[in-house]
Amino acid sequence: MKELTVEAEVCNIETVTDFINSELDNIDCPMKTRMQIDVAIDELFGNIAHYAYESGKGKATVRIEFEKNPPAVIITFIDSGKPFNPLTIAEPDTTLSADERKIGGLGIFIVKKTMDSIVYNYTNGQNVLSIKKVLG
């Protein structure tokens, strides 16, 4: 397991993505899987940066770990911002045109569809959101 703690700012999405991708390089992660993980990082860390801290200032930790059987990556996002479970957001009506849809929720919807599991807990004053992606 490795982790990185940075300021929860949009400008650090690239730092977090580079950190995760350097670990994925070590295991020869398939490109499609890496792209799906990158989209999830952008969405989840971006949401923390935009919404977690009312003062606009705070830190976020991103942890990566691997499972062997089946081979999978687990990425966990931890912040001390206001409690927020993105899994409770109603799924967008994708049958509507982009102009007809309400704003918001599409990013989380995409993450739900591309990851193999997503788990949220609020523990010890922290939001803890883990995504798991089976490699292959």
pLDDT at 18 over 90: yes
Can you say whether the dihedral through the CA atoms of 124, 79, 52, 44 is positive or negative? negative
For residues 52 and 58, is the Cβ–Cβ distance under 8 A? Answer: yes
Q: Where are the chain's structural domains?
A: 2-134
The domain defined by 2-134 carries CATH number 3.30.565.10? yes
Q: Per-residue pLDDT tens for 68-88?
A: 999 999 999 999 999 999 989
Q: State the pLDDT at residue 70.
A: 93
Q: Per-residue pLDDT tens for 83-123?
A: 999 989 766 556 656 566 565 556 898 999 999 999 999 99
Q: Per-residue pLDDT tens for 25-66?
A: 999 899 999 999 999 999 999 999 999 998 879 999 999 999
